[in-house]
């Protein structure tokens, strides 16, 4: 889910920034009032209009990001989509059959697209705007590093994300976060622009909006990441229901073994083991991790 979350948040920030830049340029060069200032008491800001604008931009950004999430993932990760009716190697067909079998067990009516992407990292992800238009992709590194039972456990985990509708719930949460990001970045930009001469206010406000929006988006990602970690435990349980607890636990232990071996070999900066997607981080970076610590995931799974 971490790969999917990273792409989703990145796309979301770019979409929101584009919308805000376009709005600022339109209001600047057409004379349409877009400052949300009314000269009233207090800070002189029309909070009602600003909130409506923020909600529109926030949810348009998040739902547009959701709509193109599968396409973006396939392009950025160079995913090879496997056609179940096409010419596949035995290796590829085994992956398709696992995804389809587990998807049927999860009650999915429409089978996800299945893909493999060329990366040495040990990872998999699920994405897509709906259960009908989902994608489950695994890395070549995962397939080459794990045994059959571990691969099935990982795939079951990703299918559980699709079955749980995690992308839609994540989109709704991101829409709320976006709303507050736009709202407070506009207020902050207005206040900052009032500190400079009138002839500089437009330029300063434009720059401040972009800077504050990016800054607040990063802070907002703490909330989204925390929710993502919470959903990972649910996907682990869902994966255990689909593939069996032993296979799910074996998959997590295999990931842990791989991560530990990488640390021992001092390979933690190598692209092959950038495990934000499958393993939690320590220290402050733990707050930005989309996944909980693997030891904690294993512990919770064994206690269920």
Which residues are annotated as part of the binding site for Zn(2+)?
157, 161, 232
Kindly list the distances between the CA atom of residue 146 and the CA atoms of 94, 118, 151, 247, 251, in Å, as whole numbers in the listed order: 14, 16, 6, 12, 8
Q: Which long-range contacts (CB under 8 A, 24 or more apart) does 216-222 make?
A: 216/180, 216/181, 216/184, 216/185, 217/9, 217/12, 217/13, 217/16, 217/178, 217/181, 220/177, 220/178, 220/180, 220/181, 221/9, 221/177, 221/288, 222/287, 222/288
Residues that constitute the known binding site: 157, 161, 232
Give the residue ranges of DSSP H helices in the chain: 2-30, 47-67, 69-77, 90-105, 140-145, 148-164, 166-193, 198-243, 245-264, 294-303
Query: Is 158 noted as a catalytic residue in this protein?
Result: yes
Catalytic residue among 37, 158, 199, 302: 158
Q: Give catalytic residues, as residue numbers.
A: 158
């Amino acid at each position: 889910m971490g790969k999917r979350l990273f792409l989703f948040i990145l796309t979301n920030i770019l979409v929101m920034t584009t919308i805000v830049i376009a709005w600022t340029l339109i209001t600047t060069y057409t004379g349409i009032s877009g400052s949300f200032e009314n000269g009233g008491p207090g800070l002189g800001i029309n909070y009602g209009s600003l909130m409506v604008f923020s909600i529109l931009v926030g949810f348009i950004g998040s739902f547009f990001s959701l709509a193109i999430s599968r396409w973006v993932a396939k392009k950025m990760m160079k995913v090879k989509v496997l056609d179940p009716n096409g010419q596949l190697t035995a290796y590829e067909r085994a992956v398709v059959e696992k995804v389809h079998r587990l998807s049927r067990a999860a009650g999915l009516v429409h089978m996800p697209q299945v893909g493999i992407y060329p990366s040495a990292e040990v990872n998999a992800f699920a994405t897509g705007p709906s259960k009908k238009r989902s994608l489950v992709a695994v890395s070549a590194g995962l397939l080459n590093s794990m045994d059959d039972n571990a691969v099935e456990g990982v795939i079951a985990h990703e299918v559980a994300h699709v079955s749980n509708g995690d992308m839609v719930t994540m989109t709704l949460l991101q829409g709320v976060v976006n709303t507050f990001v736009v709202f407070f970045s506009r207020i902050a930009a207005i206040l900052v622009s009032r500190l400079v001469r009138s002839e500089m206010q437009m330029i300063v406000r434009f720059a401040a909006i972009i800077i504050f929006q990016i800054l607040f988006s990063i802070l907002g990602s703490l909330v989204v990441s925390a929710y993502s970690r919470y959903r990972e435990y649910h996907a682990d349980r869902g994966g255990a229901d689909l593939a069996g607890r032993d296979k799910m636990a074996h998959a997590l232990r295999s990931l842990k073994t791989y991560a530990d071996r990488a640390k021992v070999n001092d390979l933690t900066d190598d692209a092959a083991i950038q495990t934000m997607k499958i393993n939690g981080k320590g220290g402050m970076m733990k707050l930005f991790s989309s996944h909980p610590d693997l030891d904690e995931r294993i512990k919770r799974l064994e206690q269920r």
